[in-house]
Structure 1
C-alpha cells in the first residue's frame, strides 16, 4: 500500500486516480503527527562564529540558570534564538518559535514549513511541530521538557498574554515561569572578541554601501534606486566575507526632503532634486548582526539655513564621540549633549536618544534597552560594549532649514579602556555636499 508521503509527492492525485490504493488510517496517522525530528543534510558550516564562541554563550546561560534555580529556559525572541543557536534566524509568519535550554539539552523549536533548515543552523538539536492540530508548538515544548520540574525562565518582554497562558496551561508540573529578558539582554550587551570582529566587518560593509549610494545619487534619481545600489553592494560584500552565512535583511534607507523628518521613514519613489536635504542610512546585517552608517547629505548645494543647523548637529555629534568612554553613565552623556543642543536653540527639535548598543538586533526585532544613551538609563559604559553616537534633530516643514539631520558612528570600548571609532565614512558639510 502506498504511504501517505508517497501519495503527497504525487501532488494529491491519489484522491482522483483510481489506481491509487490508500487507507484512511494512513491519513489519520499523518495528521495526528504533532512533532517530529528531521535531520536533512549536514550541519551548516560556521557562519560568523566558531562553535566554541556559541558554547561559551550557552555555558554562561546555564551558569545563570544554576545561580537562579532555573530548571530550564525557553527563549522565544528572534535575537535570543539567534544568539544562543549560533545563527538560526527564524521567520515566524504568525507561528511561535523557540529555543529550549536545560542543563542537558539545547533544542530549537520550529515549524514544519522550515523543514531541516533550523536544525542545520542550530548548534545542537531541533524539534519540529506540525500545523495539523492547534498548539502543537506547546506540545513540542512539553515533549522536550519531559519530567523537568522547577522554575522555567521565559522572556516576558516577548511573550504575549495569550502565549503565556497557553504555555502555563500545557506544562504538566505547574512550573513557575520567571522573567529572564533583562538577564539575557545584559549577557548580550558585552561583546566577545569574535563578536567585535564581526561587528567591525559589518561596519566596514556599511561604509561600502554608503559609497555605492553616493555613486548612484543624481538629479531625478528615485530614492529607491539609490537604496538598491547600496543594498546590493553590502550583500555582495557580506557574501564575500562570510561565504557560509545566510543573507537576510541588509537594507538602505535613503530619504529626501520632507521624507527625512523621521529616522525610520521608508524608501519612496520620490525623485531627488538639487538642493535636497538627504538622510542616508546603510544597514549591514550579516546573519543577524546589525550595524549601520547614517549621514546627512545634500545634492549639489546646501542653503545657508540648512548649513547652520547641519553644522550645529555635527558639533553635537563630535562632542558625543568624545564622551563615550568607560566609566561614564549613559544618562550623563545625554544630559551634557542636551545642554549643547540648548545652546544652539535646537533641543526642542531633538527626536530620540543619542545612541544605542549593537549586536544581534534589527529594525524588526531586538533591542538592548539598558544600553541606550538616554536620560533615564543609568548603565555605566564598560569594555566590551559597542555603542553608537547618533544625534538627530528635525526642523518642521515650512521653517528655514526644514528636514531631518542625523549622523551615526559606531564605537567599540576596548579592554584597555581605549575607544575605537569603527565607522570610516566621513561626515559633515565638507564631505557630503554631493556634486554631480
Structure 2
C-alpha cells in the first residue's frame, strides 16, 4: 500500500470572503508590525477569532485543531481533511490540509511553514497546555511570545469595512426584534417566539449577503423569572399577562457579532416594575451620552454607578455596562480591553464600536422582580458617537398586547 501524505493542498472552487483582499492585507500588515516590534518570527494562531480576523476563515473544530501561521512573507491556514476545499475557498492566503492518518500531522503542517528554532508568537489565552507541549516538541522554539493582548488591541479598532458590516448586523438585529414583538402574546412559548426572531434574521442575512456562509445566529428570549440573567437560555415557559420579557437578538455575519436587547412586558406593567424600568432607561440614555472619545471605560462606569446609587438600585447591577463588537460570539473572541467596567482604563477612540447596556435584576418576590436591560450599539466618532440601533426602547413601545 502506498504511503499516505501527512499534508497536502486541496484548493478548488472560487474564493469568497467577507471582505476584499486589501482589507486582510491591511490587517496582516498591522500584525506584522506587532511581530516586528516584539521580535516574533512566526505567529501561530489557534483561536477562531484571530484566524477569522486575519484570514476570513471561521473554522468548525469538532475536536480537531485548526491554525493560522503568519510569517513576514506568508499567511497559511491549517485545516483538517474533513473540510476538503472549503477552508481555502473561505480564507485569504495559502491553505494546507493536514491528514488524520498519523497523529500530530497538524503540528508537522505548521512546522513546514515556520521551520524549527524560531521565535514563536502564540495566544496565551487560547493555546492549551497539551498543544503547548506539542508546540515545544515539534517546533523547538528559540523562545515564545504571547501576542494575544496586542492582537486584541488591533481588533478593537475597526476599519471602515468592518463598521459597514457591523451596521448591517445592527439592522438585522432590529429585523429580529420586530419579528419577536409581532410574535409576543399570552400563552406563546419562549421557544416559539425565539424561533420567529431567528428565522427573520437568517432570511435577512441571506438577502443582504447572498454569498456568505450562515451559522450561529440566535435569540435569547426570556420571560418572568427567566429574565434574571443576561445569558439565560430559552425555555418552553408560556407567557402570562403582566410578565416581564427580555428580547435579545444576535445575528452572526461571517463571525461578526451584533445584538439588540430590550425590556418588554405582556399587556401591562405594574407601578413597581415601571419605576425600575424608567430608571434603567434613564441610565441607558445617560450612558449613551457619555460614550465620547477621550472618556475612559472606568470613568463611564463610575458615572453610571453614581447614577444608580443616587436612585438606590446600584446593588441590583450584576455586570459591566457595555463591550466591544467585532469577531466574537458567546464561545470565542471577547475583546476584554474594551468593556465598561471599573477595572478597564482603556480610553475611547474614534473607530471603536461599543454597546451601552445597563441591566438591573430585582430578586424574585420583591416588587418589580425581573431583569431589565436596554442595549444599543454605538460607533465612536471624532467628537461623539453614532447609535446604529433603531428598534425603540422603553414602555411606550414595548408593553405588547
Shift of 1:417: 2.0
In the alignment, the residues of structure 2 paired with residue 359 and residue 390 of structure 1 have an alpha-carbon distance, to the nearest angstrom, of 17
The answer to whether 1:107 aligns with 2:79 is no
2:262–2:375 CA contact under 8 A, matched in 1:
yes
Shift of 1:182: 0.5
Length-normalised TM-score, structure 2 = 0.98
In the alignment, the residues of structure 2 paired with residue 371 and residue 412 of structure 1 have an alpha-carbon distance, to the nearest angstrom, of 13
* 1:220 paired residue number: 187
Length-normalised TM-score, structure 1 = 0.90
SS in 2 for 1:312: helix
Q: Which residue of 26, 36, 40 corresponds with 2:8? A: 36
Report the structure number with the largest CA radius of gyration: 1
The answer to whether 1:131 aligns with 2:100 is yes
* 1:78 paired residue number: 48
The answer to whether 1:424 aligns with 2:390 is yes
2:120–2:141 CA contact under 8 A, matched in 1:
no
In the alignment, the residues of structure 2 paired with residue 174 and residue 254 of structure 1 have an alpha-carbon distance, to the nearest angstrom, of 48
Shift of 1:305: 1.2
Q: What pairs up with 1:21-420 in 2 under 5 angstroms?
A: 25-26=1-2, 29-30=3-4, 33-44=5-16, 46-47=17-18, 49-86=19-56, 88-146=57-115, 149-171=117-139, 173-414=140-381, 416-420=382-386
Task: Give every structure 1 segment of 4 or more consecutive aligned residues whose post-TM-superposition deviation is greater than 6 Å.
Answer: none
Shift of 1:310: 0.8
In the alignment, the residues of structure 2 paired with residue 277 and residue 42 of structure 1 have an alpha-carbon distance, to the nearest angstrom, of 49
Shift of 1:146: 2.9
SS in 2 for 1:139: helix
In the alignment, the residues of structure 2 paired with residue 127 and residue 428 of structure 1 have an alpha-carbon distance, to the nearest angstrom, of 51
In the alignment, the residues of structure 1 paired with residue 50 and residue 241 of structure 2 have an alpha-carbon distance, to the nearest angstrom, of 44
Shift of 1:63: 1.8
SS in 1 for 2:41: strand
SS in 1 for 2:97: strand
Structure 2 unpaired stretches of 5+: none
Shift of 1:169: 1.1
In the alignment, the residues of structure 2 paired with residue 407 and residue 326 of structure 1 have an alpha-carbon distance, to the nearest angstrom, of 22
Shift of 1:356: 0.2
